[in-house]
Amino acid sequence: MSGDSNDQPEIKTAMGQLTNTLMQHHMPLGPSIVAVMGGTTMAAVASTLTQELSEQRQLTFVPARGGMGESPDIQANTICAKMAARTDSTFQALYLPELASGSTYATLRSEPMIAKTLATIDQANVALHCVGDAMAMAKRRQMPADVIATLQERHAVGEAFGDFFDQSGQIVYQVPKLGLSMSDLERMDLVVAVAGGHTKAAAIEAYFKLPPAPTFLVTDEGTADTILKK
């Protein structure tokens, strides 16, 4: 994709349009559960999905993980609702904070509505997600200072599905499981990572040393040029 989404926000819309086309061509027909991460790029993707995507398909959009606490317009719940509306499909919300403690998570998991959505996430066969810069993601999620210090000490460069990883692709810190994990990608029919901008180049390059399943990458020229010039 020509351009750099760091400097040209409209490039994210173009990446969204390409993602819509890719999903039309590669997503199986019939019922699918699409697990979606939050973020500004996913919000742009949501605005570009079309009703053609649901032709001969019955789609249910679900948040891939808990994520309350971020700006409402980039929370996975909001993005899933928008994707469902644009494709004339259904969605389920997950009212669960990303940074819940283990004991809090165990309690919340027993709540009927949360348990229902988590069970649906466990059945997802399509994953649509971003790859984030480690420090930017840690600050956006308002992670504690000691955790941010740990990420810096362990040279984290990127994040996906709550896993923070270094340049070699080694996971250096994991947020407690509150939905989909990277290991769940093995069972997916389709995995699409949408991420761009030269500032994410190191994170994206490192991420592709990790996925346990083939993954399509939708990115931009700024990312590709930065990786190729290293």
Say what the pLDDT of residue 2 is: 78
Name the CA radius of gyration of the chain, rounded: 17
Percentage above 90 pLDDT, the chain: 68
What integer is the mean pLDDT of 53-75? 86
Nearest Cα residue to 31 out of 95, 96, 114, 125: 125
Is residue 104 over pLDDT 90?
no
Say what the pLDDT of residue 97 is: 66
Say what the pLDDT of residue 96 is: 72
Nearest Cα residue to 132 out of 96, 167, 157, 95: 157
CATH number attached to the domain at 10-228: 3.40.50.1360
Say what the pLDDT of residue 99 is: 56
What integer is the mean pLDDT of 105-114? 77
pLDDT band at 229; cut points 50, 70, 90? confident
Is residue 172 over pLDDT 80?
yes
What integer is the mean pLDDT of 86-106? 78
- Domain positions in the chain are 10-228
pLDDT band at 179; cut points 50, 70, 90? confident
What integer is the mean pLDDT of 62-70? 75
- pLDDT 10s digits, 44-54: 999 999 999 99
pLDDT band at 4; cut points 50, 70, 90? confident
Q: How many CB atoms lie within 10 A of CB 211?
A: 20
Percentage above 70 pLDDT, the chain: 93
The structure's pTM equals 0.92
Tokens of 169: 């692709």
First to last CA, the chain: 19
What integer is the mean pLDDT of 77-99? 90
Say what the pLDDT of residue 197 is: 93
Say what the pLDDT of residue 98 is: 59
